[in-house]
């Protein structure tokens, strides 16, 4: 959003420079992204001043030239050679000093230089109006009737002072600041200065000779609708001041009526619309919805098919405008318009947002309406616009103000406790200062006690509905820079900080995975509700739903990184990137409802790994092979090794998410889920290839990190290997074999490994064979055959007894 520095000065005294104002705005939360100087005309008449001709004589060597001396306010008279026939001593004139660049009405810019003309020194130029771009006449120099001091900048004299365009990165919750008065309100609170609100006392109704019948059939989508008629106006070009105001904020002037409505929209934050009243059939204005598929041609000449929920402004026969979004091609103001119906309304944010999203329309009006405008502003804005239109286009108000407002919007009432203000801000702010800030923000206090008060928040502050919101308002105006650092950050306590730094672990994990071919991704925390519905049984809680979503498809906070990863894979696969390994460390969000009805919002950090396609690109050295489960398991194990996580148990992964896979459990809590994603889950994002995915509990990983490192001497005695073939029921996992083996032989067993598996008719139904190698070693002596055989016999007995194994040596 862009605002004009000089426009702001109409609302509040601002002796500060634009840069200083930008710092104040950024401090209040309206982050200034840039400040650009806007000249009222090319060059801004820089280096051009008002001066006086002191002497004037004919040039001895040129009949059409005059030798003059001028007082340009520089301290010494300047000699200037002038060729104008009307130059004379005693005149007030416009002087371009040496170094000034002039932008003539016709022709290319040129710079004034010190020169010799027919042997006479000339240090400047006395200007005609076309030479400085103020007109087309070249009959002679401009002679002014003024007594302004010599040296006065010409831009000041002609009221062509430069403006500054301030670009504000407006966050979606601060729609109250999407206007000059909204920005000025923050400056009022931050600078403790009064506002100058424009008066509409001059508004009068001449007669009621042209009154339209106005009706609202859908008050839920249009809680308030106001309007009036203006007759006998003349549509034409806007005056220079109005065009300059709009150009300063990047708008293109159209005509005086449309420019006036745009001016008020950016002035007060209230969009308006002017209809050509002679094109309104039947003397009726009806706010209603129309049947699904009704065609409507918008102002840009595009025919659009309406939905059954699109709110329309209609006359007795046809639709005229998409309410709060875009006007129609045939009902707008033109050069032939002499009567208008001027609309100022408060439309439902949900209704406008849904319509704007469906039709792909983003306008200044929809930008404001879909985020929530001020329900108390329409009548004031209507009067202000009517006065402005009468000023620039003439005409008279020929109807009473129609104001359909059956259910007024009440202010928000928020209970605030002083102790919570102190707790959340971290310091104690004087109560008088608290209430000064709130009153400056139009937030009044009711029911004040020593413990707190009830904040009465105006409806235009749609983002201030909770106690924390009110406290945030206090803090942003009080200033974060005025809050001292907490004493817990003092140097004498730094040694007590935990050694574990999540950011450092993030960097280390990123380096590890990147070194093995993974690409890090960063994705939106918003996702589609349909994704969650498909895996609802696996989610930790209820969805966190946005109050003001950008679209219905991005209306909830994600509870898992899985779908973010799948969408990233699809995006790249559609661009012929077939072999992908990605990871993301990001936040997930959910809510839990306690038995007492209270709601707790929970934010967690997860690490997600995804693999699709081949292990590596095809080369002459080796053929490509598709990614397999064990490729993912190796990457997972690499992360666990980095965090020194050893004692891991396994159990089958949730079948809702994974076609097959494992869940690694530490201390009876799941640490990571990994496996092949169910094809029906992948198809939700149109992904048809097999995808392997792992999901880590990042916070649990951090807590497990930092384990002690144990160093051992390299064994002096050799290890030995023995192999067994175990025929087992299909339900027995290798995890059970490993656990039982280590429980049976704690001293000599160093490791065991599966090097072959087999299933077939020879083993019988429901049976499988594991070929397992056992590595035995004694750190104190060389193992003898007797010790080895005894150890292996104990292991075989345990496998037969506990697991029902049949040993095949």
CA 723 to chain centre: 62
120 Ramachandran zone, left/alpha/beta (phi>0; psi -120 to 50)? beta
Rounded to the nearest 10 degrees, how much is the dihedral formed by the CA atoms of 104, 108, 114, 119?
Answer: -90
Q: How far is CA 248 from CA 101, 350, 355, in A?
A: 22, 31, 30
Helix, strand, coil percentages, rounded to 5, for the chain: 30, 30, 40
Strand runs labelled E in 405-468: 412-417, 444-446, 452-457
Enumerate long-range contacts of 641-645, CB under 8 Å, 24 or more apart. 642/508, 642/509, 642/512, 643/505, 643/701, 643/704, 643/705, 644/704, 644/705, 644/706, 644/707, 644/709, 645/671, 645/701, 645/704, 645/707
The SS3 of residue 779 is: coil
Tokens 């004139």 belong to which residue?
Answer: 93
Q: Is 584 annotated as a binding residue?
A: no
Cα separation, 324 vs 365, whole angstroms: 6
Q: How many CB atoms lie within 10 A of CB 482?
A: 11
Cα separation, 378 vs 298, whole angstroms: 24
Q: Is 492 annotated as a binding residue?
A: no
Tokens 């070194």 belong to which residue?
Answer: 515
| Phi, psi values for residue 434, rounded to 5° | -60, -50
Nearest Cα neighbor of 510 from 520, 524, 521 is: 520
Q: Are 514 and 520 in contact (CB under 8 A)?
A: yes
Is residue 145 classed exposed, middle or buried when 0-12, 13-18 and 19+ CB atoms within 10 A define those classes?
A: exposed
Q: Is 496 annotated as a binding residue?
A: no
Q: Are 297 and 303 in contact (CB under 8 A)?
A: yes
The SS3 of residue 565 is: helix
Tokens standing for residue 603: 């934010």
Q: Kind and range of the H or E element at 357?
A: helix 349-359
Tokens standing for residue 233: 């106006």
Cα separation, 106 vs 552, whole angstroms: 54
Cα separation, 664 vs 240, whole angstroms: 72
Q: Is 276 annotated as a binding residue?
A: no
Tokens standing for residue 725: 């073939």
Is residue 630 classed exposed, middle or buried when 0-12, 13-18 and 19+ CB atoms within 10 A define those classes?
A: exposed
Q: Are 217 and 332 in contact (CB under 8 A)?
A: no
Tokens standing for residue 567: 């969408």
Tokens standing for residue 499: 């050694």
Q: Kind and range of the H or E element at 244?
A: helix 240-248
Q: Are 166 and 32 in contact (CB under 8 A)?
A: yes
* Beta pairing partners, 285: 214
- Which residues belong to the annotated binding site? 463, 469, 472-473
Residues of each annotated binding site for Mg(2+): 463, 469, 472-473
């Amino acid at each position: 959003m862009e605002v004009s520095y000089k426009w702001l000065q109409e609302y509040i005294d601002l002796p500060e420079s634009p840069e200083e104002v930008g710092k104040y705005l950024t401090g209040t939360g309206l982050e200034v992204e840039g400040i650009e100087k806007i000249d009222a005309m090319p060059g801004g008449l820089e280096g051009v001043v008002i001066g006086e001709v002191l002497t004037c004589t004919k040039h001895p060597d040129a009949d059409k030239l005059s030798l003059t001396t001028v007082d340009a306010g520089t301290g010494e008279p300047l000699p200037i050679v002038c060729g104008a026939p009307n130059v004379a001593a005693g005149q007030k004139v416009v002087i371009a000093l040496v170094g000034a660049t002039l932008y003539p009405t016709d022709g290319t810019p040129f710079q004034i230089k010190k020169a010799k003309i027919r042997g006479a020194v000339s240090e400047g130029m006395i200007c005609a109006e076309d030479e400085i771009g103020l007109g087309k006449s070249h009959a002679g120099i401009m002679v002014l009737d003024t007594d302004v001091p010599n040296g006065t900048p010409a831009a000041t004299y002609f009221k062509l002072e430069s403006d500054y365009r301030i670009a504000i990165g407006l966050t979606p919750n601060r729609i109250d600041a999407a206007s000059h008065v909204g920005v000025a309100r923050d400056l009022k609170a931050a600078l403790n200065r009064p506002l100058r609100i424009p008066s509409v006392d001059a508004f009068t109704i001449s007669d009621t000779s042209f009154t339209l019948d106005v009706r609202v059939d859908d008050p839920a989508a249009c809680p308030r609708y106001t309007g009036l008629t203006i007759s006998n106006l003349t549509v034409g070009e806007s005056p220079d001041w109005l065009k300059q105001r709009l150009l300063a904020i990047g708008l293109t002037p159209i005509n005086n009526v449309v420019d006036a409505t745009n001016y008020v929209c950016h002035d007060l934050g209230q969009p308006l619309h002017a209809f050509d009243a002679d094109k309104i059939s039947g003397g009726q204005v009806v706010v209603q919805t129309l049947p699904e598929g009704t065609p409507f041609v918008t102002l840009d000449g595009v025919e659009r098919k309406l939905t059954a929920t699109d709110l329309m402004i209609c006359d007795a026969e046809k639709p005229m405008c998409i309410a709060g979004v875009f006007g129609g091609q045939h009902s707008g103001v033109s050069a032939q318009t002499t009567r208008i119906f001027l609309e100022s309304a408060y439309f439902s944010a949900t209704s406008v947002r849904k319509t704007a999203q469906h039709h792909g329309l983003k306008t200044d009006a929809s930008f404001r309406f879909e985020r929530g405008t001020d329900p108390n502003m329409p009548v004031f804005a209507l009067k202000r616009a009517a006065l402005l239109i009468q000023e620039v286009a003439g005409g008279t108000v020929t109807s009473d103000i129609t104001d359909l407002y059956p259910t007024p919007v009440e202010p928000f009432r928020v209970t605030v406790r002083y102790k919570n203000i102190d707790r959340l801000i971290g310091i104690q702010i004087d109560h008088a200062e608290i209430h000064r800030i709130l009153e400056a923000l139009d937030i009044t206090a009711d029911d004040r006690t020593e413990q707190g008060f009830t904040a009465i928040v105006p409806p235009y502050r749609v983002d201030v509905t909770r106690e924390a919101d009110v406290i945030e308002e206090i803090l942003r105006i009080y200033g974060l820079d005025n809050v001292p650092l907490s004493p817990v950050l003092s140097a004498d306590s730094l040694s007590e900080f935990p050694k574990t730094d999540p950011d450092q672990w993030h960097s280390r994990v990123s380096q590890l995975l990147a070194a093995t071919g993974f690409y890090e991704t960063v994705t939106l925390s918003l996702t589609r509700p349909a994704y969650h519905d498909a895996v609802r049984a696996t989610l930790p809680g209820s969805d966190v739903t946005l109050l003001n979503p950008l679209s219905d498809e991005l209306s909830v906070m994600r509870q898992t990184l899985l779908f973010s990863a799948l969408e990233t894979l699809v995006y790249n696969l559609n661009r012929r990137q077939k072999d992908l390994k990605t990871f993301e460390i990001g936040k997930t969000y959910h809510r839990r409802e306690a038995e007492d009805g209270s709601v707790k919002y929970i934010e967690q950090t997860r690490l997600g790994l995804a693999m699709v396609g081949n292990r590596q690109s095809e080369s002459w050295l080796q053929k490509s092979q598709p990614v397999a489960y064990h490729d993912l398991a190796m990457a997972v194990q690499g992360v666990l090794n980095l965090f020194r996580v050893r004692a891991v148990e396994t159990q089958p992964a949730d079948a809702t998410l994974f076609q097959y896979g494992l869940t690694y459990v530490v201390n009876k809590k799941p640490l990571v889920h990994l496996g092949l994603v169910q094809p029906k889950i992948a198809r939700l994002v149109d992904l048809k290839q097999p995808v392997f995915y792992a999901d880590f509990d990042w916070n649990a990983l951090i807590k497990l990190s930092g384990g002690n490192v144990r160093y051992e001497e390299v064994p002096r005695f050799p290890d030995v290997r023995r192999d067994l073939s175990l025929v087992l029921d299909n339900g027995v996992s290798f995890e059970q074999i490993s656990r039982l083996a280590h429980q049976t032989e704690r001293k000599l067993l160093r490791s065991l490994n599966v090097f072959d598996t087999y299933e077939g008719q020879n083993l019988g139904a429901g049976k499988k064979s594991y070929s397992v190698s056992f590595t035995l070693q004694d750190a104190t002596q060389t193992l003898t055959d007797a010790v080895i055989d005894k150890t292996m016999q104990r292991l075989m007995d345990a496998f037969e007894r506990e697991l029902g194994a049949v040993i095949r040596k």
